[in-house]
Amino acid sequence: MADGSGLSRQLDERIAHARRGLTFPAGAKAARAAAIWVFIFGVFWLSGLQGRLGEVWKAASGLTFYIGLAATFLTGLRSWRRPSDQDARDLIDDMIEGRPLSAWADRPAKTDEEGWRLWSAHRERMAAMAARAGALSFRRHWKEADPFYLRAIIPIALLAAGIAAGPKAGERLIAGLTPDIGALFGAHTLKVEAWITPPAYTGDAPFVLTPGETANAPQGSEVTLRIISPGRPEIRILPAAGGGRSLRPEADTEGAFQALVQLNEPMRISVRFWGERASFPFTMIPDARPKVEFVSPPKLGEGDRTEFEWKLSDDYGVTKLELVARMAEPPAGAEGVLDFVAIETVGLNPTEESGAYSEDLVRHRWAGLEVFVKLRATDASGAFGESAEARYKLPEKLFLQPIARSAQEIRASLLREWREYQPPSPNDRFTKFQSEELSPVAAASASRLRAAPEGVKLAVLMIDALTYKAESYFEDPVNFMALRHARAMIDAARTKPEAEYAEDILWNVALRAEYGTVSDAKAALEAARRALEEALRNGASEEDIQRLMDMFEQAVENYLAAQMAEALREGRVSEADNQQGAQQGGGRPLGDDELQRMLDALRDLSETGARDQARQLLSDMSKMLERMENMQLQMGGGGGGPPQQGPMSRALNRALQETNRTLNDQRDLADQTEQAMRNGGDAQRLADQQRALRERLEDQMRSGGGQPPGPMGGQPGQAQSGSNQGQGQGQTGDPNGRQGQGQAGRDPSGQGQPGEGRGDGNNAAPGRDGQQASPNGGGGRPGVNADGRQGQESARSRQLLAQALDAQRRAEGALRRGDFEAAREAQREAMASLQARSGELARLADSEDPENRADREERDVLGRMSNGDSGYGDTVEVPEEMERQKARDILNELRRRAGERDLTPEELDYLRRLLDRF
C-alpha cells in the first residue's frame, strides 16, 4: 500500500488498532466460563461457608475448584481465536458507508489506462475516508462476547463480598486458594506430641513443646517426637548453620512413629506428611564453665595432712572436683605429666559450695617433692574450670624401721617413673617355654623387665637386695613374702599400670614393719568409711546403707581393739589395768560411750535421709579416730557400758517420751481436723479426742512432768532426810501442781554448802552465810532453783506445757462450736508449744547425763577422757536426739499421708518423691 501521500501507513496503523481492540472481547468470550467459576468459589470463600466444612470437604472443595478452573480454562483456550486483519478491516468498513477498505483492496476487471486512472482516484478517496474515520466502536463485539455484563458484575460482587468479610477476607481467600490436599489422605488427623528432656545434670524437668514456638534448651537436650499418622512421616532436621538431614521413623507396636533428636546446635525440626504439619525451632542455652579457686593455699596440717580451703560455682553443678599436681622440677621428658587427686564435695553436684580439704597425701606418688597444684572443677557436660597454681611440697611419711624405709624407697622408685614400657616384639608370647618343638610346654610367665623403664628396673633391683639372705634380719615372714610377691608382680607386668599394682603391697609392708597390725585395722576402717561415704553420696538403698553401717561399726571396734593390743605389747598399759578397765566398763573394745552415741546418730541420720549430715559426721568421726593414735593410757572410770542415769535423768527422759507421743497424736488430730474442714466431719468427735489429749497432758503436769520418782519426786508437803548422806530435802507445792525442792548437803566437816539450806519437812535451816533459806529451797519462787529450773524441769519447759494446755482448751472449745478454722489455729499453737517443750526437755536430759557433768584431763591409751568423753566436743557436731526424733516423725508422717486415699495423682507423686529422698 505504499504511496507518496502515506495513506498506506495510516491505514495499517488503523487496522492494527482495530485488531488490538477486538482482542479484548474475544478474550472475554474465551474466559467467560472460567470467570464465572472463579466468581462462584470466590463468593463461597469470602462468605465463610468453607470454614464450616470439615477438613476433608475443604480439601475436596479446593480440589474441585482447581479441576473446574483447569477445565474451563482449557475450554476457553480451545475456543479462543485471535482477531485477524480482515476482522479489523470489517470493523472499519462497518463504520464507514461504502466500505472503503474493501474498495481499497479490490482490483478493476479491465486494466485499461483510463479505467485504472479512475480506479486509482476512487481508491485514494476511499483510503482518505478510512483514514479520517472517527473512533472505532467495539460495542457490538462486547455484546456478543459478554451479553450479561459479567465483566462488571463479577468484580463488583467480589468486592462487595470482600467488604462483607472484613479483616478475614484475605485469610479466607488464602485458605480457599491453598487447600490441604493431604486431608483427603488422612493427613489432617496427624498428631505430634513433642517434649524435650534436658540433660540430667541440669536438674530441669522435661517440658512439652508447642509447635511454632521457639524453645530454649540446654545443650545436649534430647527431643522426643511421637507422631500418630496414617502414613509414614518425614522428619527434617534443619540446623541454623545450614545443611540438614531427614529421618524416616518406623512405626512401633502401637502404630505410632517415634524419633529422638539430640540438640547440640540451634536448629528447626519439621514434621512433614503431605506438606509441613509441625515445626519446632530451638535455640541453645550455653553451659558456662565451672569456677573454682583456692580460698587459702595448701599447707601442712596436723598429722602430715594437706589442708586448704576452696570454693566453686557452676550454673548446673559440679560433678567432679580434683586437685591437679605437676612436678615443680620435673626430669627431662616429664614436663607434661599430671596427677589428679579427687576432692569430695559435701553436696551432690553443688552449684555453689565452699569447703575445707584435709587429707593424708603421704601415699602420693610425688610425696616429698615440690609440686605446683591447682583445682579443677568439671561439670556433667565435660566442661571444666581451673584455679590459679600454688607451689607446695607434698608431705612424706617418715619411717624409722629400716625395712619400712626401704619399702618406701622402692615405692617411690616405682611410682615416680613416668615412662611407659617399650612395645613388645611381635614374636613375644609373654611365656617362658621348656621346649621350642612342635608341642612346647609353658613353664612360667616370661620376664618383661627388659622392656621396663629404668625406675621399674631399679625397684626390682632394690627388692632383690633387700630380700637377699633375709633369714638373718627378717623377723616377720609376712613382710618377706609380701616383698617377693611384689617382685613377681613387677616381673610379670607388661605395662606400667600393671607394675604399679605392687605399690599397695609395698605400702602395707612399710606400715607393717613400722607399726605392726594396727595399720591393717586402720586400713580396713578407712575402706569401710570410704564405702559408706560413697553409698551415702550416691543415694544407695536403705539395705545397702544398713549393711555398710554394720561393717563400719565393726571396723571401728576392730581398730580400737588393735590400738589396745598394741598398747599392751609396748607396755604403755598393763594387762591388769586392762582387765580392771574391762570390769568397770563392760570389757567391750568399743569403750567410748560418746563414740557409741556418734555411731547411733550416724545410723539414724543415714536411715532418715539426712545423708549430707551423715557424711559430715562420718568425716568428723574419722578425724577423731586418727587423733587417738599414740595416746598414753590413763585409766579412769570410763567404760564401754551404757551411761548410768540417775532418777532425775530417767524422769526427764520419761517426760520427753510422753511429750513426743502427745505431739504425734496432736499432729494426727490436726490432720483429721483439716480433712473434716474440707470434706465435712463430726466436730464433736474431734472435740472429744482433743479433750482426751488435754487430759493426758494435765495428768503429766500433775505428776510433776520431769520430776524424778521416789524421794525427789514426792508429793507436796513431804520431806525426807538421809542421815547417812547428810542430806535432807523439803518440798512444797503450789495450786498448779508445781513442785519445789530444797536441798542441803554437808561437806566432810559437816558444814552446809554456801547458799544451801538443809530441808527439814516444811522448814529450812539457815545456811553458812547466815541467811534464812526459804522452804522452797531457792529463796525465790516456789519450787524454782536459782538457775531458773523448777525441780529438774526448767521454768521454760513448764511454761511451754501450760501454753500447750491453754491452746488445747481453745481448740476443744472451737471444735464444740464447729469453728474448724479457729480449731486449726489453736492446734498449731499447741503443736508449736509441745515441740518447743520437747526440745527443752531433750536439752535438760543431755545436761543431766553423768558423762557430761565433768571433763577430767586423764586420758586412756585411745586418747579418750577417763570419764568416757573423747575430747572432741568442740569440733564434732553430733545431732541431738530431738533432731533425729524430728526426722523420724517427718518420715512417719510422709508414709501416713502417702497412704491416704483422697490424694490427687500430683500430691501422691510428690509424696513418693519425698519418700525416695528420705
Report the pLDDT averaged over residues 905-912.
72
Q: State how far the Cα of 856 lies from the Cα of 698, in Å rounded to an integer.
A: 42
pLDDT recorded at residue 840: 82
Residues 6+ apart with CB under 8 A from 202: 218, 316
Position 253 pLDDT exceeds 70 = yes
Confidence at 461, pLDDT banded by 50, 70, 90: very high
Confidence at 445, pLDDT banded by 50, 70, 90: low
Query: pLDDT higher for 99 or 647?
Result: 99
pLDDT recorded at residue 502: 94
CATH entry 3.40.50 includes domain 190-285 = no
Cell of 849: 547425763
Highest mean pLDDT among 2-6, 389-393, 583-587, 823-827 belongs to 389-393
Position 205 pLDDT exceeds 70 = yes
Do the first three CATH levels of 190-285 and 518-572+592-641 match, i.e. the same topology? Answer: no
Location of C-alpha cell 570389757? 587
How many other CB atoms are found less than 10 A from the CB of residue 726? 15
Location of C-alpha cell 462476547? 145
* 293-393 CATH fold: Immunoglobulin-like (2.60.40)
Cell of 793: 524441769
Position 659 pLDDT exceeds 70 = yes
* 518-572+592-641 CATH fold: Four Helix Bundle (Hemerythrin (Met), subunit A) (1.20.120)
How confident is the model over 82-116, as pLDDT tens digits? 887 777 777 766 666 656 666 566 666 666 666 66
How many other CB atoms are found less than 10 A from the CB of residue 380? 19
Cα distances (angstroms) measured from residue 641 to each of 135, 592, 675, 815, 857: 132, 9, 48, 50, 21
Query: pLDDT higher for 575 or 495?
Result: 495
Position 330 pLDDT exceeds 50 = yes
Report the pLDDT averaged over residues 256-261.
90
How confident is the model over 743-765, as pLDDT tens digits? 333 333 333 333 333 333 333 33
Confidence at 321, pLDDT banded by 50, 70, 90: very high
Q: State how far the Cα of 79 lies from the Cα of 72, in Å rounded to an integer.
A: 11
3-state SS of 292-331 is: EEEEEEEEECHHHEEEEEEEEECCCCEEEEEEEEEECCCC
Domain residue extents for the chain: 7-177, 190-285, 293-393, 402-423+445-516, 518-572+592-641
Highest mean pLDDT among 467-476, 619-628, 874-883 belongs to 467-476
DSSP structural state of residue 419: P
Position 307 pLDDT exceeds 90 = yes
Cβ–Cβ under 8 Å, residues 282 and 264:
no
Position 877 pLDDT exceeds 50 = yes
Q: What percent of the chain has pLDDT over 90?
A: 18
Cβ–Cβ under 8 Å, residues 672 and 681:
yes
What are the backbone dihedrals phi and psi of residue 457, each rounded to the nearest 5 degrees, phi first? -60, -40
Cβ–Cβ under 8 Å, residues 15 and 85:
yes
Position 631 pLDDT exceeds 60 = no
Query: pLDDT higher for 815 or 757?
Result: 815
Question: Which range has the worst mean pLDDT, 445-454, 644-653, 760-769, 823-832?
Answer: 760-769
Cβ–Cβ under 8 Å, residues 207 and 196:
yes
Location of C-alpha cell 464447729? 818
pLDDT recorded at residue 525: 82
Q: Which residues of 182-221 are buried (b: 16+ CB within 10 A; e: fewer)?
A: bbbeebbebebebebbbbebbebeeeebeeeeebebbbbb
pLDDT recorded at residue 855: 44
Location of C-alpha cell 591447682? 374
Q: State how far the Cα of 564 lies from the Cα of 570, in Å rounded to an integer.
A: 10
The pLDDT mean for the chain works out to 75
Report the pLDDT averaged over residues 668-685.
83
Position 719 pLDDT exceeds 80 = no
Residues 6+ apart with CB under 8 A from 579: none
How confident is the model over 553-582, as pLDDT tens digits? 888 887 887 777 666 555 555 444 444 444
Q: State how far the Cα of 797 lies from the Cα of 778, in Å rounded to an integer.
A: 18
Q: Is 274 left (phi over 0), alpha (psi -120 to 50) or beta?
A: left
Q: What percent of the chain has pLDDT over 70?
A: 68
Position 616 pLDDT exceeds 90 = no
pLDDT recorded at residue 844: 78
pLDDT recorded at residue 884: 58
How confident is the model over 46-74, as pLDDT tens digits? 888 888 888 888 888 888 888 988 998 88
Query: pLDDT higher for 514 or 643?
Result: 514
How confident is the model over 420-433, as pLDDT tens digits? 988 877 666 655 54
Residues 6+ apart with CB under 8 A from 229: 187, 189, 190, 191, 257, 273
Handedness of CA 39, 44, 45, 50 (dihedral sign): negative
Confidence at 640, pLDDT banded by 50, 70, 90: very low
DSSP characters for 620-638?
HHHHHHHTTTTPPP---S-
Q: State how far the Cα of 130 lies from the Cα of 136, in Å rounded to an integer.
A: 11
